[in-house]
Chain A
Amino acid sequence: MSFIETHISVLVVIVPLIAAPFCILLRNSVTAWAWATVVCLVTMALAVQLLQQVWLGGTISYDLGNWPGPWGIVYRVDELGAFVVLIVAALAAIVLPYAKTSIEREIPKERHYLVYCMLLLCIAGLLGMAVTSDAFNLFVFLEISSLATYVLVGIGQDRRALTAALRYLILGTLGATFYVIGIGMLYQMTGSLNMTDLATLLPAVQDTRTVHAALAFIVVGFGLKLAMFPLHFWLPNAYTFAPSAVTVFLAATATKVAIYSLIRLIFTVFGDIEPLETYNLRFAVIILAVAGMFAGSLMAIFQTNIKRMLAYSSVAQVGYMILGISIGNALAMAGGIIHMFNHALMKGALFMVMGCVMYMLGSVKLEDMAGLGKRMPFTAAAFVAGGFSLIGVPLTVGFVSKFYLVQGALLAGWWPIALLIMLSSLLAIIYVWRVVEMMYFRSPAIGHGQMTEAPMTLLIPTYVLLAAVFWFGIDATFTGDLAMAAAESLLGGSK
C-alpha cells in the first residue's frame, strides 16, 4: 500500500490541523484564503479516497504512533465515519471559494487570516471527531472544533455576535464537560477509553448506577452540542449573527458531527446494552425529537430575520435526524443518516443564498426582501429551490430523507409518527412560503427597482450545492446504499 493509503485516516485530520497556523504566518488576506482553499481541496480529495477505501475494503483501523489499542489511540473509520468525513470535507471545499467574497464584505481586512485559520481548525476538529475511536480523544477534538467555532461566531459584524458567541461558549463548555464526566465514569467502571474495547467491557457492568449516570451525562452533553430540543437555545443567535460564510459551514456540518458522535456512543460504545431498549429511553427520545420538529418549525414561522428563521428550521431538522436514529430499524436509521448529508446540502445552499442577500442588501430581514425575485432573480430562484428541499418536494434530497423516515416509522408500526413527519412538513411550507411571497409578490421599495445580482463568486458555489440537492434527490442510490450499509452495521453490531 502506498503512504497515503496506509495513513489515510490520520491524514484527513492532520492536514488541516497542521495547515491552520500557516494562515497566521501568511497574514495577507488573499494568500491566507488561497492557502486554506488549497488545503480544503486536498482534504476533500483525501476524504473521497478514504470513503473509497472503506467502501471497497471495509473498516479501517489505524494505531496512532504504532501504539496498539486499547492502550494507544486508535482511529477507526467505518462507512458512517467515512460518510461524515466526506460531508465535512466536501462542504468545506465548497464554502472556502464562497467565503472570500462574503468575508471581504462582512469582516475588517486585518482579521481575514484569523477567520481562515479558525475555519481550518474547526474542520480539523470535526474530522477528528468523525475518525477517532478513543472516547477522550473525541473530547479533545470536540473542544478544538468548538473553541474555533466560538471565535468564528464572535467575529461577526453585529455586536450581538459577541453575546451569541459567549452564550454558546458557556453552554458548549457545559455540554463538553458533561461528556467528560460521563467518560470518566465509564473509565472508572471499565478501565478503558477505547470505544470498541468499552463496547465489550460495558455489558458486564450495565446494571450499575455509575453506568446509568454516565449514559445520562453523555446524552445530555451531546444533546447540548447537537442542539437537541430543548437544549437548542444557543443555536438561533449563533447562526444569525455569525458571518454568512461561517453560518453556511456551521449549519451544514457542526450539528451533524455531534449527532454522529452520539450515534457512535449509543450504538457502538453502548451498543451491546441497547440502551434505548434496556433503559426505556426510546419513547422519551422520540418525544423530544418530535417536539423539536414542531417547536423549531413553529418558531421559524414567526421570525422576521431569515437567517434566524433558517436556524430555527435547523432545530426542527435535527429533530428528524434524532427521530431517525431512535426509531430503531435500519430504514429509519438510514433516513436519519441520509438526512445528515441531505440537510447539510440544502441548509448550506439556503444559508449561501442568505450570504448573497447580505452581500447586496446588508440585511436579511424579511421586509427588505420585497421584490427580490425581480432584483436578484438567480438568488431568489436559489432560495425557492432550497426551500422546496426543506419542505420535502419530490426530486429534491429533502424528499429522499423523509421517504426513508416515513417508511421506517411505518415499518415499526408507528403510523402516528409518520403522520407527524408529514404534518411538520406542512409547517415548513408556511415558513418557506412567507419568504417566497415577499420575494415574488411584493413590489420592491422605492429606489430598489433595478436589477442587482450577487457576484458570480457567490452564486456559483450556491448553485453547485443546489445541483447536488437535485442530483442526490433524483438519484439517491449512492447516498441510500451508503446510509443503509452504515445503518445495518450499526444495528447489526448491537445484536
Chain B
Amino acid sequence: MVDLSFPGLLNYWFVFLLMLIGLYIVIAHENLIKKIVGLNVFQVSVFVFYISVAKVKGGTAPILADGIEVYSNPLPHVLILTAIVVGLAMTALGLALVVRVQESFGIIEDDELRALEDQQEDEGNNA
C-alpha cells in the first residue's frame, strides 16, 4: 500500500487539493471563462503531479557534465512540455469559443445560455 500519511508525501496532497479546486470551479461556476480557468487549474495540478514524480532526492537537472551522478528523471518533464502545449491549444480554442458565444448570445453564463437554448428549441418547434 502506498503510504499517504500526512507530511510524508506533502506535494501529492497539494496536487490533489489543486486538482479538486480546479474540478470544483469547472462544475460549480456558471461563467464560461471561469470554467476554462478551472480546467487550467485542473490541468496544472496534473503537470505538478508529473514533475513531483520525476523528482529524485538530491538530484540535479539532468545535464551531462562531470561530477553529476544523481539527476531527476527527464522523461516526465518532456511529457509535460507536450501536455502544456496541448493545454495551451485547449485554452485558446475554449476562449475563442467563449468569444463567439458572447457575440451570438450576448451572455456567457451557462445557466442563462441553457434557458436561451431551450427557448430557441420551443420556438423552433412551433415555427
Residues of A within 8 A of B (CB): 136, 139-140, 143, 147, 150-151, 154, 159-160, 162-163, 165-166, 169-170, 173-174, 177, 180-181, 184, 187-188, 208-210, 304, 365, 367
Contact = CB atoms under 8 A, between A and B. Distances in A.
A173 B105 contact: no
Contacts of B104: 159, 162
Interface string B107-127: 000000100010010001100
B73 to A, nearest CB: 8
Interface in B11-26: 19, 23, 26
B107 to A, nearest CB: 11
Given A154-B97, A160-B117, A174-B42, A304 B53 contact: no
B120 A147 contact: no
A140 B97 contact: no
A350 to B, nearest CB: 21
A208 B101 CA distance: 45
Main secondary structure of the interface of B (DSSP, over half): helix
Contact of B100 (A162, A169, A170, A365): A162
23 contacts: A140-B86, A143-B86, A147-B90, A160-B117, A162-B97, A162-B104, A166-B32, A169-B93, A169-B97, A170-B35, A170-B94, A173-B90, A174-B26, A174-B42, A180-B83, A181-B19, A184-B46, A184-B49, A208-B2, A209-B1, A209-B2, A304-B125, A367-B125
A184 B53 contact: yes
Nearest to A308: B121
Interface string B87-98: 001100110011
A38 to B, nearest CB: 27
Q: How would you classify the secondary structure of chain A's contact residues: helix, strand, loop or mixed?
A: helix
Given A136-B79, A162-B97, 17 more contacts: A140-B86, A143-B86, A147-B89, A159-B104, A160-B117, A162-B104, A162-B105, A166-B101, A169-B94, A170-B39, A173-B94, A174-B26, A181-B46, A184-B53, A187-B76, A209-B1, A367-B125
A175 to B, nearest CB: 11
B99 to A, nearest CB: 10
A208 B2 CA distance: 7
Contacts of A188: 53
B50 interface: yes
A184 B32 CA distance: 28
B82 interface: yes
A220 to B, nearest CB: 12
B83 to A, nearest CB: 6
Nearest to B99: A162
Contact of A174 (B39, B49, B124): B39
A154 B36 CA distance: 16
A11 to B, nearest CB: 22
